[in-house]
Structure 1
Amino acid sequence: MIKMNKISKKLLMMVSIIMLLVFGISYLLNNYFSSDYYLYKMKQRLTSIYFEVQNLSIEELVEAEQSIENNNNVTIVMVENHGSTEEINDNVQFALFKDKIVLNKFWITDETLQKVAKGQTVKLLFNQGKLKSSLLTVLYEQENQLILLGTVVVHNTDALQIVNQLNLYSILLGIIISLLLVAYFSQKIITPLEKLKSVAKDISNLNFKQVEIKSGDEIEELSYSINEMSNRLKNAHSELVKKNQSLNTLISSISHEVKTPLSLIQAYTIGIQDGLDDGTYTDVILEQVTYTSEMVDYLIKLSKVQAMKVNKSKFDLRELLQKVIAQYKITLQNNHLHVRSNLDSIENFSIEEDMSQMEIVFHNLISNAIK
């Protein structure tokens, strides 16, 4: 069973309308204008024969008469153009009878004979009634001879009705077969489009699928473009997720790292207000502000690259550790805590590392220990 969708229905409707118009117009033309067209073509043929023989003498016409009649399916009759109208009519009818053309109705009028006598060419059509035929004639005068060129025109109304009826049945059958074929082949076109639609919907839901279509046309090229778009969106989405993760990590790191220097700044500021400053509190506060600024810059740089370059240099680890511990003097006192160190047992305090990152490590260790 052929599945119909919106595009198939539209395509089927458009093709149906076009076929109905084409076949309908063809049927109407055959039914109502074929007889007139047939008569028009017969008149044209008879006129062309007249143009060929009008300048021939009687002797030349007599010699060519048999050939012209056989090749063009016409009858040529020549009678003396004198006497009464009735005599001329009898002579013409008898000549036609000898050529095996029997007529029910035939009469050349005086007016027609007068026109011919003046050198005019007269075209007449004699309907034979029940014989269902007509005699199409051209009359003209040549060397006092009345020359008639005639051809029988068969009335084909009955035959045309039968043919048109058969055409109608053929048209209806052709329309049905054509519509079935259109529905079948449109489905061949629509099926890949439905696949593309499904994949596009999945991509919009961040499910970056691929589609494989082998149709050898623009739809296959479109599938390649959609697959490429899916890959690029997948990569872009992956990069965006990584950046979001880096941003979340940055925010978390800043929140965590900034708390410690802010706590120290707060503690030393309160100490100044309480008159506990021994002359070093403002230096510690400025140092913590500088440290906080540098740490924020470092974290921002860290979020921009996956692996930051480490700037290693030689420095004294004991001095760095004592410096960091000194910054927590007020916090340790407020929490009634004391730091015990055994630094004298270490022989070599000189190391080669990134001093700024080591300072962050010590701050995290001491602040977490205090908490």
Structure 2
Amino acid sequence: MLIGCVLAGSLSVSAVSANQGSIFPDTGQSHRYDTQGKVLLASDDVLYQGQDASQQGNPLRYRDNGDGTISDLNTGLMWQKAHVLKRRNLKKTHEHVSRMTLGGYSDWRVPTIKELYSIAHFDGQLIKPGESGQRQPYLDFNVFEFQYDPRLAFAGQFWSSTLYVKNDIQSFSKHGGLQGGFGFNFADGHIKAYETGLFFDGTVIKPSDRMFVPGCYVRAVRGTTSLYDMDYVDNGNDTVTDRSTGLMWAKNDSGKRMNWVEALAYADKADLAGYDDWRLPNTKELQSLVDYDKTSFPAINTSFFNTSLRDFDSENNSYYFWTSTTQGDFKWTANYISFAQAWSKKNSKATEYFDWHGAGAQRP
């Protein structure tokens, strides 16, 4: 259940130059939708200014190296091309990747969640039985291999190396609860924290604990990028520049909740620090601000960004931020990033909320 969203800091990509070492990749989204999920024509955007697909970003660019590896020409990272249908817990995943010699390289590793998210392609859609259309993963499947789980088509979770360090996930109390590790689901386009195979205090989950740990897939990476260093500069005019990405952000959030159409208009009409080209960030841009290593809420650097909320202890003060990117599975919705707990319930009949997916989760 979405309690309400706070507008994310708008940004201007023309105010500063992009990082010269790496180029921030676009989402790949090519279609715009209204709040009924219908495709918008170019002349039908009066209420939807600034939607992701109407903005020109840096196109996703890859090179197939012919040896089972793919080079990302934007970030400079090298990726495993294949999708191996083998699920492992996070510890076994790290062990598996450390032994890889794909392409003659031995420095493969599990990607961070920001690195993994960089190859997401938001023209994806997971078509449900009985619906028209053709499913396609949230990934450039002309470049990368991807296979849907033959039993559960929506189960396309891939591990990142990024642990959820702020608290445990879901609703278990044993050994401090469950430890979460972030992953991206290339089948349904969500970032969530998944059970790593450990309790939050580091205790290994054993069969006798009767905890189901399904595990995730992995797409290994090698190399480095400076895009996610979060190298901020306070410009002294209520804006903050991230020298890593070349993006300029509003220092303050909107201070009030609004729906998505209102948020698009709010950003489009903003006139801040002498710039008039502010817009709602796309989902990759906004996710670049998440501080996954911070052990407290909110998951953003509060030395540079001001937050309108001070308490983050219940679903009533959730801290969700809109993006300009619509969600392919539910085209009448848009993605948001949670900068505090990503509240959810066990099922529709339950009444108690838990931090199910973690600060830094992306959901529609």
Bigger share in helix: 1
Q: Which has the larger radius of gyration?
A: 1
TM range (shorter): under 0.3
Q: Whose relative contact order is higher, 1 or 2, with alpha carbons under 8 Å and at least 6 apart?
A: 2
Q: Tell me the TM-score normalized by structure 1.
A: 0.19
